[in-house]
Amino acid sequence: MKLIPLPAFQDNYLWFVHDGHKALVVDPGDAQPVIEALQRERLKLEAILVTHHHQDHIGGVDQLRDATGARVFGPAREKIPEPLERLVEGDRITVLGLDFRVLDVPGHTAGHIAYYCENFEGRPLVFCGDTLFSAGCGRLFEGTPQQMAQSLEKLASLPGETRVCCTHEYTLSNLKFALAVEPGNLDLIHYVKRCQDMRSQGQPTLPSTIGLEKQVNPFLRTSVPAVAQAARGHDASTPPDAVSVFATLRQWKNEFK
C-alpha cells in the first residue's frame, strides 16, 4: 500500500493511497494531478474522501467522479455536491480493504470530519484536512475556540504513532510562530532544523505524527505552563483554562508575521 502526497496549487497535498490496482484520494481540490497519477500507475479510483467544503478540497470531485465512477464520502453537515455518502462521528467505511472511522472535528468549518485508520500497514493514520497542521491548526472560519480545542484534543488522544496527514504544507511558517510561543522548547528547535532540511531538498514535511505534534505544536500544548505563560504575555487578560489559552494563541497566530 502506497501513501503519496500529491502537490496541488500553492501548498495543498492531495493524499493518494493505492495498492497497485485501486486507489483512493482525499480532498481533491484539483482533478488533474489525480488523473495523471491514475494513468501513470494504471489504477482505478475506488473512492474520494472529503473532509470539508472548501473549494481547494472539493474542486476536483465532480470531474473525478464523472471520469472514474468513484464513490464519494464526505461530511453529513456540509454543502458538498451530490451524490455523496454522508458521514458523522462513529461511522465506519472500508476502502481498499482499509477500515476508517469517522471523527467529527468542527472548528475550521462547522461540519469538518477526519478519517482515522487504526491499521494502515500495521500503523494508525489520520486524514485530518485543515483541522490539525504540523506545528499549527486551521483558522476558525465557522467554529468557536471551544469547538476547535475539543477537536484538537480528540486528535491528540489518538495513539502517538498515528501518522498525521493534513492538507497544507504550512509547517515552516507554523514553526516560526511556535518558536515565538516556546523559544526554549528543545524538541521544537530540533524539529525546525529537520523541516528546513526537508524543505530545502524539496521534500514534504508530512506526514507528521500525533506524538511529535504533542511535543512541538503550541495548539496541542495549551496546558503546558510555558505556553499558557506566553499566551498571557501576549494578552494579559487570558484566563488560565486551556480553551482560553487556545483562543489567545489562535488570535495571536492570525496577527503573527
Provide the binding-site residues for Zn ion, judged by CB under 5 A.
Answer: 54, 56, 130
Identify whether 18 is a catalytic site residue.
no
Distance of CA 168 to the CA centre of its chain: 7
Whose Cβ is closer to Zn ion: residue 165's or residue 230's? 165
- The active-site residue out of 27, 30, 53, 56 is 56
- The active-site residue out of 18, 30, 52, 53 is 52
CB of 169 to Zn ion, least distance (A): 11
CB of 159 to Zn ion, least distance (A): 25
Identify whether 53 is a catalytic site residue.
no
CB of 25 to Zn ion, least distance (A): 15
CB of 52 to Zn ion, least distance (A): 6
- The active-site residue out of 18, 53, 112, 168 is 168
How many Cα atoms sit within 13 Å of 34 on the Cβ side? 34
CB of 51 to Zn ion, least distance (A): 8
Identify whether 108 is a catalytic site residue.
yes
Whose Cβ is closer to Zn ion: residue 108's or residue 163's? 108
Identify whether 27 is a catalytic site residue.
no
Identify whether 57 is a catalytic site residue.
yes
Angstrom distances, CA of residue 87 to CA of 17, 66, 164, 237, 256:
20, 21, 20, 39, 35
- The active-site residue out of 18, 54, 104, 112 is 54
Identify whether 54 is a catalytic site residue.
yes
Region of residue 179 (phi > 0: left; psi between -120 and 50: alpha; otherwise: beta): alpha
Whose Cβ is closer to Zn ion: residue 30's or residue 130's? 130
Identify whether 52 is a catalytic site residue.
yes
- The active-site residue out of 18, 53, 108, 112 is 108
Whose Cβ is closer to Zn ion: residue 57's or residue 179's? 57
Whose Cβ is closer to Zn ion: residue 133's or residue 252's? 133
Give the active site residues. 52, 54, 56-57, 108, 130, 168
